[in-house]
């Protein structure tokens, strides 16, 4: 039985699209006899014609992706676009490098392992990018016998 006209009228009555109109197969004969909008409204009230819920887009996959990224996954070479500095700016890289070195120098000075003069000298060298990291800084101090 062709119920396309009833479906169209029902969509207009319920203010939704035709794809969201559901017609009960048990009331098929009754629906086919409904030709006016009032007939359709009555069938909607009876429950013979119903409106399907709006189908949304699931965020399940997106949430999973976010969880993986928090763990540090999905960030390999294949995901990177642009220059090296696009992922981590030059300034941020410098800060990550210099702060631990300055902290180490302050610790050594406060503990009395290096003199304030040596501290100042090494501080300026660190500022001038003479050391790769804190380990390099420590080896420099031990090799030059700058500690007390």
Mean pLDDT of 49-76: 96
Q: What pLDDT is stored for residue 23 in this prediction?
A: 97
Does 32 map to a domain? Answer: yes
Distance CA 83, CA 44 (A): 60
pLDDT of 75 > 90? The answer is no
Distance CA 147, CA 117 (A): 11
Residue 70 is inside which H or E element, if any?
Answer: helix 60-70
Does 71 map to a domain? Answer: no
Q: What CATH number is attached to the domain comprising 11?
A: 1.10.1650.10
In the chain, the number of structural domains is 2
Does 59 map to a domain? Answer: no
Q: Which domain holds residue 20?
A: 4-51
Q: What pLDDT is stored for residue 61 in this prediction?
A: 97
Which residues, at least 6 apart from 85, have a Cβ–Cβ distance to it below 8 Å?
93
Q: Are 122 and 141 in contact (CB under 8 A)?
A: yes
Q: What CATH number is attached to the domain comprising 113?
A: 1.10.1200.60
Please, which pLDDT band fits residue 116 given cuts at 50, 70 and 90? very high
pLDDT of 86 > 90? The answer is no
Q: What is the DSSP letter of 16?
A: S
Q: What pLDDT is stored for residue 98 in this prediction?
A: 98
Does 99 map to a domain? Answer: yes
pTM of the model: 0.51
Distance CA 138, CA 147 (A): 10
Residue 92 and residue 137 in one domain: yes
pLDDT of 35 > 90? The answer is yes
Does 94 map to a domain? Answer: yes
Mean of the per-residue pLDDT values of the chain: 95
Residue 45 and residue 92 in one domain: no
Which one is predicted more confidently, 75 or 25?
Answer: 25
Q: What pLDDT is stored for residue 114 in this prediction?
A: 96
């Amino acid at each position: 039985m062709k119920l396309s006209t009833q479906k169209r009228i029902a969509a207009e009555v319920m203010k939704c699209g035709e794809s969201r109109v559901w017609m009960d197969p048990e009331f098929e004969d009754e629906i086919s006899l409904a030709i006016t909008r009032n007939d359709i409204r009555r069938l909607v009230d009876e429950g013979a014609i119903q409106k399907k819920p709006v189908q949304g887009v699931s965020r399940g996959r997106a949430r999973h992706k976010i969880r993986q990224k928090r763990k540090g996954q999905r960030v390999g070479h294949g995901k990177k676009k642009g220059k090296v500095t696009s992922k981590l700016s030059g300034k941020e890289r410098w800060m990550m490098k210099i702060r631990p070195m300055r902290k180490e120098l302050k610790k050594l000075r406060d503990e009395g392992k290096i003199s304030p003069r040596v501290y100042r000298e090494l501080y300026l060298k660190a500022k001038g990018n003479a050391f790769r990291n804190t380990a390099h800084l420590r080896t420099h101090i031990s090799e030059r016998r700058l500690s007390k």
